[in-house]
Structure 1
Amino acid sequence: MNAIIKISFGLIAVALLGAAAFTSDIIPGSASSAEQRLLTKANAALSNTPSIRLQVNGQKLIISGEVPDIETRTRTLARIENADGPGGIVIGGITTIDASALKVIPQLPVADPFIWIAENEGDALVFSGFAPSEAARNYLFQLAEELFGNHEISGTLELASGLPATENQWLKSTDTALRSLSLLKDGVAEANGIQFSLSGEAQDIDSLNKARTSMENVADVFQTQTQLNLRRTPTSIEDLITETVLDDPIISSNIEEPAQTEAVAQLPSCQSNIETAIDQRKIGFSSALADIDINARTQLREIASILADCENIRLQITGHTDSSGNAARNLQLSGYRADAVRAFLISVGAPANRLSTRGAGSAEPITSNATPEGRERNRRIEIEVVSENG
């Protein structure tokens, strides 16, 4: 009887020791040490790829994370399957692989430079450029809806990598730039690499100062630049023409009439000279504005001078806009631009009776309006020689 009791106690002790050994983390041959061995070998097979996470449950390996394509996913699974032989209870290898949480997420293209643009023109806000993630893109469009509730919001932000800072820093700064833009009547907020900029027109001095101060909240890792103007909104075409003429610092308040000369036959070079002057550069405009820049004014003075000496030449001036915003407003704005150019030409000596204007709106683009560069090219003035008798 005593022998039987001793044997029973011995068997129980062996079983308890075996169970302890099997469940202990520190005793070789335990379940935990076996799992750790499998996990170590699986990680070694993947060279500790940070985008992939491994977990072992018995002889089952659970894989989660992201890979850029199907081929990489297939290679990853093959490496793990070969990490510890064919598996099985006796050999003690991996018997099951659960890869349901291993997702294929294509890598984003690199944008260099990483550009983001928001253009506010009239009643339209247009996005272009890039966003670093779907979440960031959604946030910016949602913010635009809140800030520009009465605007038509359009454009696209392509997903790309290549941010010059963290996503949080970039998103904080684009948030700031968009809020600053909402304080302006019209303008453009732009991020180009590490440079954030804001340009445009404010309705009043208070809005201008608030927009400029707001841009100081851009993250310190970025550089900032502001170019803001204050201008009264013209209530009529007469107001707009008056502003355009008087705004030129070179124009005298007393404009002399062009000197009258004896009637002479027109030189054959009249038309070619005017066409050469017209072709020197494009007469363009800032978004939603009818301002003529200094370089264009120099060009228009030359055109006016030639036209004054070519008595039988007439010019037609056509204003064009891009497709942003309301079509009816674009048609009106294009007419304003043409009239502003005509007013300037008259102010520097061009005969008024030989200048006609028309507004084409956005109906005659010379390139696609899908990009900021394309829209800038479509905002233009075209001057055409419509007759020559001489």
Structure 2
Amino acid sequence: MLDKALSAIDAAGADWAGVEIDGQKAVLFGEAPSREALDRLKTAVAHAQWSGGLALGGITILDASNMTVFSGPPLADPFLWIAELQAGQLVLSGYAPSPSARDAVFLLAAMRFPDADISGALEIASGAPAEDGWLSAASISLQALARLNTGAVEANGPAFEVSGVVADIAEAAAVKQLMALIDDGFSGIAKLTPAPPEIAQPETTSEEHADTDATPAEVIEPDRALRCAEQSRSILGDAQISFARDRASLNRSSRALLDALAAALGACPDLKIAITGHTDAAGGAAANRRLSLARARAVGDYLRAAGVDAARITTSGAGESQPLVSNRTAEGRARNRRIEFEFTPGNQD
């Protein structure tokens, strides 16, 4: 009879339960993950078939008084999560809504801070907002924190805030726009302080001293433009500018990304931006050229509306002529539908 009872438990997938047989009484013990799971187990055991016993045989009494039901992790109110960055160390503290979310946060931290010493612990607790949204907001916040010299992220329920010191105003603008990507019932803000500028006197030769037309601005401007170009590429990362199908209408996520780019470009007035649209091979070549150009122009128009000088922007459409990969698969076609940016200092051809 015990073997039949154990078989019923296995069939119910209840590896969290055990059973003892006392005559024709089955005594269940263990901790069920939910009340519904316990009810399913009791039904499975009650309807199992055994040989022997009184009359028709089988279980006459089912005792589940020794069973408990998992009530979930303790409630955290407020539900806090903190990541602190200082002197090459990242310390995580507070709560996570589940073990998988906790593991994901540490994995994201390792990806965003490959050279940092990561420590701390996150307790599992209930009381968090929707887990998917919370994890997405945590990911964006860590990405923003990685741009700071030193600082912290503090989340209180659905409200995420990053604070600290950034390299310059362009970085501050980029971080603020990153935090603005947090949505779907969550919020993200940034309270930042630009680091004091380092004033360095460049070494000059006697010939440079003799050139009275040379100014400090002319010496440092190319380096500044190149740094701005790198910051702009960093903002874009691997993200793709996306559109409505077969149209040149920007999706919301792309508009937020372009807002961040425009903010950084606003601090880099000497940087020129070339925007090229590309399509996959679906449709006719002429139609694809028109669509790719329309999408490039839509991106340019958006940046102009966001405050980037129109004289700095050029747009073109390559259609399907420059694929990154084969168009034979849906994945390949998706990669080929793209917008490419080229950033060059204004004093370069």
TM exceeding 0.5: no
Q: Structure 1 length normalisation: TM-score?
A: 0.38
Q: Which of the pair has more CA radius of gyration?
A: 1
Q: Structure 2 length normalisation: TM-score?
A: 0.42
